[in-house]
Amino acid sequence: MPKIYLDYAATTPCDPKVAKAMSVFLKKDFGNPSSIHNFGQKASMAIGMARQNLAEFLGCESEEIVFTGSATEADNLAIFGTLKAVKITKPHIITSQIEHPAVLESCRELERRGVEVTYLSVGKDGVVEVSELKKAMKSNTVLVSIMYANNEVGTIQPIAEIGELIKKINTKILFHIDAVQAANFLDCDVKKLGVDLLTLSGHKIYGPKGVGALYVKRGTPIAPIIYGGGHERGLRSGTENVAGIVGLGQAVKEIQNPKLKIQNIRIRQFRDKLIKTILKIIPASRLNGSLTQRLANNVNISFDGAEGEAIVVALDQKGIACSTGSACSSGSLEPSHVLLALGLSEEAAHGSLRLTLGKYNTAKDIEKIIKVLPVIIQRLRKISGYK
C-alpha cells in the first residue's frame, strides 16, 4: 500500500540536498569546530556558512544567530534568557493562549517564580487582537512572545503590526516570535517584522531534527540558560551539532530558492481543494481557525460524532499519516488548548483532524484522502451512534 504523508507540521523529511550536505560532516569532516587543526577549522567554517545562510534569510547579521539543540530550547533561551538579563523587580510578560507548549510552559514556570504573565485570548478565527495586546501592556512589561503561525490551526498572527505597536509604546519591551511553522511560507525578515528574537527549527523545513536557532538582535539583554565552554558567544555552550547546523543552513538556503514560491502555490491549491471538498461532502464538519489568515499547508477540521484519534488510526490503516488537533496522542488526555481557546466545546475539540501538506504531496494524495475520509467518518459516526 502506498504511504501518504499529510503531517508536515509534525515533522518533514530531510531534503536530499540537506542530507547530502550533512553526511560530509558526520564522516569525513568530523572535527570539533573549537579545534585549531584542519579538521576543526573545516567544521568551524561550515558552521559559519550555515550562520550566513540564516542571516540572509532573516535579514540580519550572522553574529545575531545562536544555534540551539531544538526550537523548544531556542524558545526557552528567548524567554528565560531575557528575563534573567532584564533587571526589574516584578516583570510582566505577554503571550497568547494558543502558543506552542515550548512557550506556554516556559511562561507558566516563570509565573511560578513570581513573574506576572498575561495570556491573550484569541477570537474564533484564532488570531490575536492587536487592540487586546495594547490593553495588556503595562509599565513593567518586558517581553511579548507571540507565535508567527500556529502549529495546530495554522492561523497567522499580525506580527509586523504587533512589532510596530510595541516599539511605539516602549522601545525597551522585547518582542519574541516563534517562526517554526511560518518559515516555509512567510517572510521572516526580522526588520520588516520588528522583532528582537525569532525561533527557527530544522525539522519543520526539510532539515534535520535536533537543531534549532534563535535570532537575537544585537544589544538585546540576554543571559545563557546552559553553561559550559562558552560556545555560540556564550549563549549556548556545548560542542556544536555540526552536521545538524549544516543541515539547517542548507534547509534555509532551500527555502530561499525561487522554486519554493511555485511549490507553495501548489500546496495552497491542494489545501483549498481539501477544505472545500471535505466541508462540502461530509455533513456536520467545520473548519477550525481563519480561512484567510492561514498557512498555505494547514487543514484543521472538526467532525461531529467522530473522535480525532480514531480518525487518525483509521486513516493510518489506509496508509495516510496525519494527526489530531488534540494532544491526546501525546499522552495527555486534555483536549487541545488551541481549539478550546478558539471557543470549541470539549467534544468538538476531541473530534478534530489536522492535515498538513508539504512539498512532496501530489494531486493523487489529495484525491485519495478525499475518497477515503468520508467513509471513515461515516463508519465512526455509526460506531458512536451519531445520527
Partner 1 sequence: MEYYSKKIINRFMHPKNLGKIKEADGIGDTTNLRCGDLMKIYLKVEKRGDEEIIKDAKFETFGCGHAIAISDMMCDLVKGKTFTEALKVGYEDIAEEIGPIPPVKVHCAKLAQAALKAAIEDYKEKTKL
Q: Which helix (H) or strand (E) holds 313?
A: helix 308-317
- Applying the rule CB under 8 A, the residues between 357 and 386 that interact with partner 1 are 382-386
Among 16-24, 143-151, 187-195, 310-318, which window interacts with partner 1 (CB under 8 A)? Answer: 310-318
Read off the C-alpha cell for 77. Answer: 533561551
Closest residue by Cα to residue 241 from 249, 233, 52: 249
Exposure class string for 313-343: b at 16+ Cβ within 10 A, else e:
ebbeebebebbbbbbbeeeeeebbbbbbbbe
Question: Of these, 71, 79, 328, 353, which contacts partner 1 (CB under 8 A)?
Answer: 328
**Contact region for partner 1 (CB under 8 A) — 85-93, 123-131, 156-164, 329-337?**
329-337
77 Cβ contact partners less than 8 Å away, ≥ 6 residues apart? 66, 68, 214, 222, 224, 225, 235, 236
Q: Choosing from 14, 60, 322, 328, which is the catalytic residue?
A: 328
Q: What is the DSSP letter of 207?
A: S
**Per CB under 8 A, which of residues 338..357 are in contact with partner 1?**
346-347, 349-351
The stretch among 57-65, 127-135, 289-297, 322-330 that binds partner 1 (CB under 8 A) is 322-330
Site size with partner 1, rule: CB under 8 A: 27
Is the CB of residue 69 less than 8 Å from the CB of residue 226?
no
Tell me which residue of 334, 327, 377, 352 sits closest to 10, measured CA to CA: 327
Give least dist CB 47 to partner 1, A: 37
Cell of 302: 472538526
Residue 334, interface with partner 1 (CB under 8 A)? yes
- Residue 307 sits in the site that holds partner 1 (CB under 8 A): yes
| Residue 305 within binding range of partner 1, rule CB under 8 A | yes
* Long-range contacts from 325-332, C-beta under 8 angstroms, 24+ separation: 325/152, 325/153, 325/288, 325/300, 325/349, 325/352, 325/353, 325/354, 326/350, 326/352
Q: How far is the CB of 331 from partner 1 (least distance, A)?
A: 5
Interaction of residue 313 with partner 1, rule CB under 8 A: yes
> Is 328 a residue of the active site?
yes
> Using CB under 8 A, which of the segments 13-21, 135-143, 275-283, 300-308 binds partner 1?
300-308
- For partner 1, the binding residues (CB under 8 A) are 305-310, 313-314, 317, 326, 328-329, 331-335, 346-347, 349-351, 382-386
Catalytic residues, by residue number, are 328
